[in-house]
Structure 1
Amino acid sequence: MPIINYQVLEPFYRIWQSNAVRLRMPTTVIFIAPYHNQKMQALPEVYQADFTQFLSEHVRQTDVIFEVPTMGWIGILLLGSKENEAYRLLERLSNEYQASERFFTLEAEKISFKASITEIRQADITFEQILTTAQTALGQMSETQELVYIPDYRQAKREQVKVSIIESDPLMNRIIKEVVQNLPLSSLDKEIRTFVDGEDFLSSDFYQSPHNHIVIMNDVLPRKTGLDILASLRSMPNDKKFVIYMMTNRNAESAMIDAYEKGVDYYLVKPFNLKLFSAQLKRMFESLW
């Protein structure tokens, strides 16, 4: 595993993190500060090189190992991994290092290390910010403390999702809206709008924004039908932003197949169980966001 300077890593990290956040993947950074003796002095250069080489030989193939020469630190970038995976990796590295006879002591004093773990779920956090935060956290550790978790960037920023409910029956319209409103989604802000027919929806600009958009609609509607709406949405260049539920009284196999072939994601035959529908919606949101 090649070892790179952290400054070379910065451009790669920015590109990776932008895509990771978009795909809802975590990134975790470990900073390791090796030292020896009770004064916690930095390792001499030859031992630092050996320690870094040991780490490079024992990390996973998907991990990126780098150096921060000004601080004498070694870092590990764990792509698509959470902080608990980083902890298990550190635990394994520590055990394998302790069992290694390659280099165990420096002038009869045990070589040890302190470490920080930072899980990142935000796209706009720079590598310098992560490094500075870790420097502060490691500097504040007590003599007996070996590991610190840094929670500053673990929480993903809230995103907005739009929900359109298109149903001519006022009671059903209100019930579906209440189901969506009551969904416990911690990372999303839902903007919900109801429509009584297809023309009302298609003449609005509510669905034109780039936000991810859930459409829950009846198949039979005044003026524009559910299939008309479906055709319009699926003809848009960014139609992948839509998740479309079709409610219907028809349970014929041919009608279901036709709806799915035209782009429906979920087909709901009335009457349907609202608790199951709520659970399905919640699972759908969690899988996408």
Structure 2
Amino acid sequence: MTVISSNDSKENRVRTLEMGAMDFMAKPIDEELLVAYVSNRLAYKRELEQAIVIDELTQIYNRKFMESQIKLFIKHHQQNKEHFSIAIIDLDYFKKVNDTYGHLVGDEVLKGFASLVKELKGAEAIACRFGGEEFVILMPRTTKKEAFIFIEKLRTSMEKKIFTANGTSFHVTFSSGIAEATSTNLHPKKMLEEADQALYTAKQLGRNQTIIFDNIAAVEKRKVKIKIVVIDDVYIIRDLITNHFKHLEENEDYMIETLAYPDGISFLEANWYDPECKYIILLDWILPKMDGIEVLSKIREQHASSNVIVSMLTSRVGEEYVMKAFINGADDYIVKPFNVVEVSERIIRLIHQMFL
């Protein structure tokens, strides 16, 4: 509020400001000055409002704005029976991005995802940062099926997006849960709980997928398909590992298949990748024609650790080799000679940590 008065005394100005006015203008008022003053204050008001509702890092809406909009869309649904859906999105294994590449790179991933959402979403959809690596997308006049189509388009685009750090490339995926407004969930907390339950189911089923809340009961507990790939020019090592896993007891959460290649070129030229599977690759460092680090770099150009774990299998010891492996995208480092049982136990731990 600005007070305009012909009494331009110091006492009157002080009293005006003490009573809560933002500014004081003395009469008579110059018209040009008044126009400039109003324009300045309107611009300041817009900037202030933006700062209140916009997440500083990602430049999309924040949680406070999201909560106000959910209430508004629920009200519209109650009045006009307009469809309204929400999606909660969680970036898969984001902690590993921070741990591997640092928090500054993690921030770039968050900004990159937010930018992708803004690029792909419709004019009415509202993207919000829910907190950390979680996001909420509000979709007015959108059914759960329409929401699913959009979120899947976003998911596949994110899966292909390339991020870089320390001269290496990597990918990040996300899991998502969707809920649509119905007669039984017309409350912000209830809708968010339903979307969150669907998100939890997506994570339980292996991540990098979208689940609609209504479909949770119909979704069977699917076993995660895991392929263990051994790339080593020594036949005995390939045979030792593949035979060991062939004879493991069946597990209720996952099933394992083994593949083996004598060199990196034959592996890369093979049609080895199946998006329905998760992979653990045991990669020898010293290979003919193309060494293991080159193969690792080729893998990371296309596949993130959320789907493909790479463990260097090598006789090279020393901190410089370990660091080089991790910088180029390795997830684990196993030194030869090794005990196949110990390697097996290590792989099972990785499966539980990364895929279940």
Using the size of structure 1 for normalisation, the TM-score is 0.50
8 Å Cα contact 1:162-1:212 kept in structure 2: yes
Q: 1:170 aligns with which of 221, 232, 235?
A: 235
Is structure 2 residue 202 aligned with structure 1 residue 77? no
Cα 1:154–1:252 change in 2 (3 A) is: same
1:154 to partner: Cα distance: 6.9
* Mapping of residues 127-138 of structure 1, within 5 Å: none
CA distance in 1, matches of 2:265, 2:252: 33
In the alignment of these two chains, the number of paired residues is 193
1:268 matched to which residue of 2? 334
2:289 matched to which residue of 1? 223
Structure with greater contact order relative to length (CA < 8 Å, sep ≥ 6): 1
1:285 matched to which residue of 2? 351
Cα 1:26–1:188 change in 2 (3 A) is: farther
1:64 matched to which residue of 2? 189
8 Å Cα contact 1:163-1:192 kept in structure 2: yes
Q: Give the secondary-structure state (helix, strand or coil) at the position aligned to 1:64.
A: helix
8 Å Cα contact 1:216-1:244 kept in structure 2: yes
CA distance in 1, matches of 2:275, 2:263: 20
1:106 matched to which residue of 2? none
Cα 1:274–1:77 change in 2 (3 A) is: same
Q: 1:192 aligns with which of 252, 258, 270?
A: 258
CA distance in 1, matches of 2:311, 2:282: 5
CA distance in 2, matches of 1:179, 1:25: 36
CA distance in 1, matches of 2:276, 2:215: 30
Q: Which has the higher helix share?
A: 2
Is structure 2 residue 313 aligned with structure 1 residue 247? yes
Of 271-280 and 255-264, deviating more is 271-280
Structure 2 residues not aligned, in runs of 5+: 1-66, 88-143, 156-172
8 Å Cα contact 1:27-1:81 kept in structure 2: no
Structure 1 residues not aligned, in runs of 5+: 34-51, 57-62, 67-75, 83-118, 131-151
Amino acid at match of 1:160: K
1:244 to partner: Cα distance: 0.6
Is structure 2 residue 82 aligned with structure 1 residue 12? no
Q: 1:213 aligns with which of 276, 279, 284?
A: 279
Amino acid at match of 1:64: K
Using the size of structure 2 for normalisation, the TM-score is 0.42
8 Å Cα contact 1:10-1:127 kept in structure 2: no
1:273 to partner: Cα distance: 3.4
Q: What whole-Å deviation, never above 9, does each CA across 1:136-190 have from its counterpart, x for those lacking one?
A: xxxxxxxxxxxxxxxx457533343333211222221122113444275433343
Cα 1:225–1:191 change in 2 (3 A) is: same
Q: Which has the higher strand share?
A: 1
8 Å Cα contact 2:232-2:238 kept in structure 1: yes
Q: Give the secondary-structure state (helix, strand or coil) at the position aligned to 1:11.
A: strand
Q: What RMSD over aligned residues (CA atoms) do the two structures have, in Å?
A: 4.3
CA distance in 1, matches of 2:214, 2:329: 45
CA distance in 1, matches of 2:197, 2:231: 40
* Mapping of residues 100-119 of structure 1, within 5 Å: none
Cα 1:127–1:285 change in 2 (3 A) is: closer
Q: What whole-Å deviation, never above 9, does each CA across 1:182-226 have from its counterpart, x for those lacking one?
A: 275433343421111222212212147574332112111223221
8 Å Cα contact 1:195-1:201 kept in structure 2: yes
Amino acid at match of 2:316: R
CA distance in 2, matches of 1:170, 1:161: 22
Is structure 2 residue 187 aligned with structure 1 residue 158? no
CA distance in 2, matches of 1:11, 1:120: 18
Cα 1:208–1:231 change in 2 (3 A) is: farther
Cα 1:129–1:168 change in 2 (3 A) is: closer
CA distance in 2, matches of 1:26, 1:183: 33
1:133 matched to which residue of 2? none
8 Å Cα contact 2:177-2:195 kept in structure 1: yes
Cα 1:183–1:196 change in 2 (3 A) is: farther
Amino acid at match of 1:220: I
Cα 1:10–1:279 change in 2 (3 A) is: farther
4+ aligned runs moved over 4 Å, structure 1: 1-10, 13-19, 22-28, 78-82, 119-130, 152-155, 208-211
Of 121-130 and 163-172, deviating more is 121-130
